[in-house]
Amino acid sequence: MSASTKALHECGQSLWLDNITRGMLDDGTLARYVRDFHVTGLTSNPSIYNAAVKNTSFYDAAIATKVRSGLSGERLFFELAIEDLTRAADLFRPVHDRTGGLDGWVSLEVSPTLAYDTASTLAAAKDLFARANRPNLYIKIPGTPEGLPAIEEAIFAGVPVNVTLLFTREHYLAAAEAYLRGVERRVEAGLPPRVCSVASLFISRWDGATAAKLPAHLANRLGIAIGQQSYKAYRDLLCSDRFERLCNFGAVPQRLLYASTGTKDPNASDTLYIGSLASPNTVNTMPEPTLLAFADHGDVTATLSAGGGDCDRTLFAIERAGTDVVAVGAKLQKDGAEAFVKSWNELLEVIEKKSRAVAAVA
């Protein structure tokens, strides 16, 4: 077992894997990560599945079977993904039960083409959650302006939500507001308020987007500062009268989740965003290479301050150096949504190509 991942786990942060393939389910790799590296959950997205289907043969036989049964395109993909994620959910179910539903989750994203379509996002979220039929499966909904009403309605409908594509403190607070409104409406309607959620804040893309614009002494500090700033907002919300009132009815916190925590800069530590964002009552979902690196040589020397540490000073220095943090955050969300659509379209093209190959030999 890894002492590094154990230390992170014991500080109160959940370690999730930001990856899934049918191969790691079949060969026991995921089960080994659970056993040896304290992994207690898993996330997926269109880019992950695009790589898994395109670059491996893990899905070829299943695609062939589904094509022969009349499935194609988006419907075929979600059948594949639900098969994988229900298996992963069952693997994490003991953690989910042991933690009263706060941990042990897997995540499935609605089609990223719906990022700016509220009604269709909500309909897809309800459909996918019902089809998966697992209590520990989050539906990922983007925290775009159009996604926020769908998040509120999904929570009100009892659908657990992983809010994705959050980049700024303000994005996080908007997602938290949507979650709270959904829970408050459940209380008013006499429904159980315990509907779980996480809010996924993307970290490393900040530094990738600003690397060429910042002086050396500010390199690779913006993503961590945004994480610190958002963590302060998160802790302040947990102490608010509004949230404590909901706790009296049995509500649970929407946990802050650090996403995109693989280091992009080859000159920086490959565990930069793991040790730097260690913080109680949060989640860090990390790419497989980052998990392996941290398990091997990671270190937890301190946890984030509930007051945000030196984030204000860092952000002030970055703004003075000529970076408009608000503008960069807005662009990152827009670019992130577009990148997921690109991966989604490529994924469907790969499935279509493999489907045609099956038809040709039928």
Count: domains in the chain: 1
pLDDT at position 28: 98
Q: Kindly state whether residue 107 falls inside one of the protein's structural domains.
A: yes
The question of whether 126 is a catalytic residue gets the answer no
* pLDDT per position as a tens digit, 163-195: 999 999 999 999 999 999 999 999 999 999 999
pLDDT at position 1: 85
Q: Kindly state whether residue 328 falls inside one of the protein's structural domains.
A: yes
CATH number of the domain at 307, please.
Answer: 3.20.20.70
- Residues composing the chain: 362
Q: Kindly state whether residue 210 falls inside one of the protein's structural domains.
A: yes
| Identified catalytic residue from 66, 140, 232, 354 | 140
Give the pLDDT mean for 24-47.
97
* pLDDT per position as a tens digit, 323-341: 999 999 999 999 999 999 9
Q: Kindly state whether residue 362 falls inside one of the protein's structural domains.
A: no
Which whole-number Å values give the CA distances from 307 to 62, 225, 243, 270, in the listed order? Answer: 50, 12, 18, 26
The pLDDT mean for the chain works out to 96
Q: Kindly state whether residue 251 falls inside one of the protein's structural domains.
A: yes
CA atoms within 13 A on the CB side of 124: 23
Q: Kindly state whether residue 91 falls inside one of the protein's structural domains.
A: yes
pLDDT at position 361: 65
Domain that holds residue 332: 3-357
pTM: 0.96
Q: Kindly state whether residue 128 falls inside one of the protein's structural domains.
A: yes
161-166 and 137-142 beta bridge pairing: parallel
Question: What band does 142 get if pLDDT is binned at 50, 70 and 90?
Answer: very high
pLDDT at position 362: 56
Q: Kindly state whether residue 341 falls inside one of the protein's structural domains.
A: yes
Residue 256 phi, psi (nearest 5): -75, 135
